Amino acid sequence: MTAELVRGQNHPLPSTRLEVRVSAGSPVVAGAALADERGTVRGAEWIAHPGEPRLPGVEVPRRAATEHRLALDLDALPGEVHRVTVLLVLPRTSGSAAGFGAVAAPFVAVGEPGGAPIADFTLTGLDTESAVAVLEFYRRAGAWKVRAVGQGYDSGLAGMLADQGVSGADALAASIMAAAGPLVPAQPGPSADPSRSTAPATSSAESVTAAHARTVTGGRIDYAHPRRRVTAPAATAPPAATAPPGTPVPSAPPSGPAAPVAGDAPGDSLDERLYNQVWGMFEDLARCVAAYRGAVDFAESRREQELDGVLSDPRNRIGGAGDAARAEARAKHDELIARAREVLDRDLAQLAAESDVVEPALPAAFAGWDSPVWHAHRAPAGPPWALRLGDVHLPEAPELRVPLLVRLPLERGLWIDAGRSASAADGLLDGAELKHLALESALTHAVRLLAAYPAGEMAVHVIDPAGAGAASLAPLVGAGVLAGPPAVGAAGVTAVLDRLTQRVDLVQMALRAGAADALPPDLDPAGQLLVVNDFPHGFDDRAVTRLRYLADEGPSVGVHLLLVADQEEASAYGPLLAPFWRGLLRLTPLAGDHLADPWVRHVWTYEPPRVPRGSRVLEQVLATVARERRARGR
């Protein structure tokens, strides 16, 4: 049975020799872009287009047409290629439509050469976009899959190529469109003969090192994490490019997903590999849930359209015809949702298996407080790669928790929200209890940060103007890991802020002047964490200005902010503090659906870090940190 894909949905491929058939309402130019495991198109030589229709494993049509056939042999792709994106471009001519929204929706079908379709995708929802990434073939756990993308570009082919990291995108786009020649009614692509292989083409791709895939406004959004490592499928036959003419090339047999392995992602260290793997899990979960929600929306929209079409005739509104139409529409609706749920459950099971392997392998900075790694904790030899701030999950899979990791050093301050807007559970607690829980949550983050750094390389300052957090702060004070006693009163607030502000100024001036050796000898080179409880109590206008300065400028020179505050209590400062709140990463002391994902519009439920009931792990970790600091004289 052919799978009807919606945006974001993926489907396994039973074969690696494929044919992509395109039917469009207006002549289009078809092409394919190859990308490495980071999602980077390394240059013009990695793009198959009418002027260069053949690359190893890929052949595309030479002309613009309303119908196309593209041939793919995924086993014949170079080893460094992990992704193939099928592109369609609407030529900009005086007689052509302004965008894909003005022509009949293109239809794309994927199948084996000369065989039945495997999956199809109708490209709807476009408007003025003149270029679109339609399908993506990608490796996942050693097997190939196809994903419906459907991401359009108002900026045309040049904007698409620029988003994929191709230099000289404007000139390359112009040459591709020129090579497509005049528009013709139809132009069949490569032969569908299954014995025909794509001809090899020689190309030299310059080796580059890419960072995270760039996000461009209006550009491609891809939730396949660019640094997830995948294992290439084992070769079961000579590649098509070396087979004698007329010799059929057997396809690799379909196989299930490979067993997950902890640290199976690119990176120079195990911590970096685990960090990349966890974020890959997060993005895989976001993508598969987005596909499921899209399928549900499509099923409901299709049911309403069918009912409207049938019931628009008054004769069908009563009697057996109307009942039959309703029953048929409901049956189709239920079938579509059941198929979408089956795909979602398959992907969730794979992610759950990966989580079961990854979670026990996480280092202390990434691990939950119930992990055995904390029982034998020792200060690391080097700075940590990232820090765990809690877990996140989605309502479709509440049992699948993904660690929320942030890179270190922190680029933004942390704000523990002690106000009523923190979560729905706040209504059961009074204001004092909420503030107490918020400070307790802040302390767990502070202790983890202390434990994650080598002994003595992170100093902690605490501002508690009214002394309201004395009981919660007692473990830090008792362990002797603070840079000084908690600051109380307006004078204490001013002293701490002045000292840290002066440090930021000195370090910034030294770095700008290239005179880092000229810093005062008594300046502590360690990172600095400022914990502020019950903001804005005890803060005058000058202190608020200093705090805003530290939040903006401190992270660049190793001064970080951890704020416990109720935003409503600071409303007297009006809009002056609006940029301040936006510059902080807001967390909550209780679980709440408040972490918004702007790309797929998910609202994630955040779970703060929990210390097991009755556990003394925080005290044990603090004692270890204090002991190692004393041993090093810090």
- Whether the CA torsion 627, 630, 632, 634 is positive or negative: it is positive
**Domain membership flag for residue 633:** no
- Given a cut of 80, whether residue 215 has pLDDT beyond it is no
Q: What is residue 193's predicted lDDT score, i.e. its pLDDT?
A: 37
Specify burial of residue 380 (Cβ count, 10 A radius: 0-12, 13-18, 19+). middle
Alpha-carbon span 380 to 446, nearest angstrom:
16
Model pLDDT for residues 423-467, shown as the tens digit of each residue: 555 556 777 888 999 999 999 999 999 999 998 899 999 999 999
Query: How is residue 442 written in tokens?
Result: 């802040």
Give me the mean pLDDT over the 189-216 stretch.
Answer: 31
- 153-189 in b/e form (b: 16+ CB < 10 A) is bebbbbbbbbbbbbeebeebbeebbebbeebeeebeb
Tokens 């190692």 sit on residue: 628
Alpha-carbon span 33 to 52, nearest angstrom:
12
Tokens 């419906």 sit on residue: 148
**Domain membership flag for residue 502:** yes
Model pLDDT for residues 510-549, shown as the tens digit of each residue: 888 888 777 888 788 889 999 999 999 999 999 999 999 9
- pLDDT > 70 in the chain, percent: 84
Give me the mean pLDDT over the 60-86 stretch.
Answer: 91
Question: pTM of the predicted model, to two decimals?
Answer: 0.62
Alpha-carbon span 118 to 108, nearest angstrom:
11
Q: What is the largest CA-CA distance in the chain?
A: 92
* 238 and 170 in a common domain: yes
Contact by Cβ (8 Å): 498, 544: no
Tokens 């109307």 sit on residue: 322
* 215 and 150 in a common domain: yes
- Given a cut of 60, whether residue 227 has pLDDT beyond it is no
Give me the mean pLDDT over the 309-338 stretch.
Answer: 79
Alpha-carbon span 350 to 633, nearest angstrom:
48
- Given a cut of 90, whether residue 313 has pLDDT beyond it is no
Alpha-carbon span 560 to 445, nearest angstrom:
12
Alpha-carbon span 558 to 354, nearest angstrom:
34
- Given a cut of 60, whether residue 253 has pLDDT beyond it is no
Of 203-207, 355-359, 421-425, 427-431, where does mean pLDDT reach its minimum?
203-207
What residue numbers bound the domain in which 116 lies? 3-253
Q: What are phi and psi of 533, to 5 degrees?
A: -100, 140
Give me the mean pLDDT over the 485-492 stretch.
Answer: 93
Whichever domain contains 72, its CATH number is: 2.60.60.30
Domain boundary among 334, 361, 388: 361
**Residue closest to 75 by CA, chosen among 84, 86, 85:** 84
Distance of alpha carbon 378 from the chain centroid = 32
Amino acid at the residue 180: A
Q: Of the spans 138-147, 224-233, 369-378, 559-568, which averages the highest pLDDT?
A: 559-568
214 pLDDT band (50/70/90 cuts)? very low
Amino acid at the residue 34: L
| Total domains in the fold of the chain | 3
- Given a cut of 60, whether residue 255 has pLDDT beyond it is no
117 pLDDT band (50/70/90 cuts)? confident
**Domain membership flag for residue 371:** no
Q: What is residue 103's predicted lDDT score, i.e. its pLDDT?
A: 82
Q: What is residue 115's predicted lDDT score, i.e. its pLDDT?
A: 77
196 pLDDT band (50/70/90 cuts)? very low
Domain boundary among 330, 361, 392: 361
The conformation of residue 77, written as its DSSP 8-state character, comes to S
What mean pLDDT is reported for the chain? 81
- Given a cut of 60, whether residue 389 has pLDDT beyond it is yes
Would you call 128 helix, strand, or coil by DSSP?
coil
Q: What is residue 423's predicted lDDT score, i.e. its pLDDT?
A: 52
Give me the mean pLDDT over the 556-585 stretch.
Answer: 89
Q: What is residue 426's predicted lDDT score, i.e. its pLDDT?
A: 57
Give me the mean pLDDT over the 357-367 stretch.
Answer: 93
Q: What is residue 248's predicted lDDT score, i.e. its pLDDT?
A: 45
Q: First CA to last CA across the chain, in angstroms? A: 68
* 469 and 325 in a common domain: no
Which of the two residues, 576 and 337, has the higher pLDDT score?
A: 337
Q: What is residue 348's predicted lDDT score, i.e. its pLDDT?
A: 94
Q: What is residue 634's predicted lDDT score, i.e. its pLDDT?
A: 58
* 544 and 416 in a common domain: yes
* 90 and 9 in a common domain: yes
386 pLDDT band (50/70/90 cuts)? very high
Whichever domain contains 614, its CATH number is: 3.40.50
Q: What is residue 592's predicted lDDT score, i.e. its pLDDT?
A: 81
- Given a cut of 50, whether residue 8 has pLDDT beyond it is yes
Contact by Cβ (8 Å): 49, 226: no
* 304 and 223 in a common domain: no
Q: Could you write out the DSSP letters of every residue in 157-204?
A: HHHHHHHTT-TTHHHHHHHHHHHT-S--S----S---TT--PPP----
- Given a cut of 70, whether residue 246 has pLDDT beyond it is no
- pLDDT > 90 in the chain, percent: 41
Q: How many residues does the chain have?
A: 634
* 454 and 347 in a common domain: no
